[in-house]
Amino acid sequence: MKININIPTPITQIKSDLIASKKLSVFVKREDLIHPIISGNKWRKLKYNFEYMKQKKINKVLSFGGAYSNHLHALSWYANFNKIKSIGIVRGEKSTKLNSTLMFCKKNNMDLYYLDRDIYRTNKYSNDLIIDIKKKYKNIHILPEGGCNFLGVKGCKEILDELDEKYNFICASFGTGCTSAGIIKSLRQNEYFLAFSSLKGGEKMKKNISDMSNNSKKWRIISDYHFGGFAKKNKKLDDFIKDFYFNHKIKLDPVYTGKLFFGIFDLISRDYFKPKSKILIIHTGGLQGIQK
């Protein structure tokens, strides 16, 4: 049975009095419509990793994420669909009650292990737990956090490869930087990329993104709209997300895309973009984050 993937994804123009007053054109590439569960950059990053596993006849996959990880959520479903055993390494202590994300992972046959936050931050890929898991499961594909490897970058590069129109600015949110690297690798002449950080200290990711994309030009990190840190939010962000859906009928999540769109509209109000600029926003899905 084949999965129904909606690619290439549609592009929607969004209009408002603010956009019109600044003489801009704003469009959204609806990666959130790829699939109800493995939408957006989640599908892009898993695509070639699963092709690799199929070629190498690997039937187990292990990856990493927080307790509300969009990546683990999508991975558990897609692995189960492909009859591949999935293992999730979750940052932090095990809770007495699973949240909706981890319940979904368990429902999709993902084995969950928990790793101390300090070890996760400094040594998530080669600690005693990982060594024991490799011995137990064997024949396993280790997928970095967020699906961030060269195969993930390859998949994300295809986001812009689907475009016919050219834009002055491409904008997307980032966590691990994998999607940003793929987008940067596919920028065309006179296109500039703005990477909006969803976490504190986003500027520290500049070298990682540059290394993955082999490009230190034609892009910059915007780190002013993290709202206190990863998965942090406040009433101002919540209200923006609700108003945006009311006005444009496009759902946003509070972890990535809500902060991205908030930041773009704030920059528009501050005259960051020159009049007549064409702006393309990449909606990277992750709408299960709304349940947070």
Q: What mean pLDDT is predicted for residues 187-192?
A: 94
Distance (Å, whole) CA 229 – CA 234: 11
Confidence of residue 143 (pLDDT cuts 50, 70, 90): very high
Give the CA angle between residues 168, 169, 174 to the nearest 5°.
Answer: 160
Q: Is the pLDDT of residue 290 over 90?
A: no
Q: What mean pLDDT is predicted for residues 75-93?
A: 96
pLDDT digits (tens, 9 = 90+) for 102-118: 999 999 999 999 999 99
Q: What mean pLDDT is predicted for residues 154-179?
A: 95
Give the helix/strand (H/E) hosting 60. strand 60-65
Token pair recorded at residue 83:
């009859």
Instruction: State residue 202's pLDDT score.
Output: 87
**Best CA proximity match to 196, nearest among 241, 259, 253:** 259
- Contact of 132 with 111, CB cutoff 8 Å: no
Instruction: State residue 289's pLDDT score.
Output: 56
Question: Which of helix, strand or coil describes residue 147?
Answer: helix
Instruction: State residue 26's pLDDT score.
Output: 98
Instruction: State residue 13's pLDDT score.
Output: 98
Token pair recorded at residue 99:
């949240």
- Contact of 156 with 181, CB cutoff 8 Å: yes
Q: Is the pLDDT of residue 175 over 80?
A: yes
Percent with pLDDT over 70 in the chain = 98
Q: What does DSSP assign to residue 9?
A: P
Report strand pairing: 278-283 vs 25-30.
parallel
Instruction: State residue 7's pLDDT score.
Output: 93
- Contact of 286 with 173, CB cutoff 8 Å: no
Report strand pairing: 169-174 vs 192-197.
parallel
- Contact of 105 with 77, CB cutoff 8 Å: no
Confidence of residue 30 (pLDDT cuts 50, 70, 90): very high
Distance (Å, whole) CA 26 – CA 241: 17
Q: Is the pLDDT of residue 1 over 80?
A: no
Q: What mean pLDDT is predicted for residues 171-198?
A: 95
Q: What mean pLDDT is predicted for residues 61-90?
A: 95
pTM given for the model = 0.93
pLDDT digits (tens, 9 = 90+) for 219-275: 999 999 999 888 788 999 999 999 999 999 999 999 899 999 999 999 999 999 999
Instruction: State residue 291's pLDDT score.
Output: 55
Report strand pairing: 25-30 vs 11-14.
antiparallel
Q: Is the pLDDT of residue 184 over 80?
A: yes
Q: Is the pLDDT of residue 12 over 60?
A: yes
Instruction: State residue 3's pLDDT score.
Output: 86
Gyration radius of the chain's alpha carbons: 19
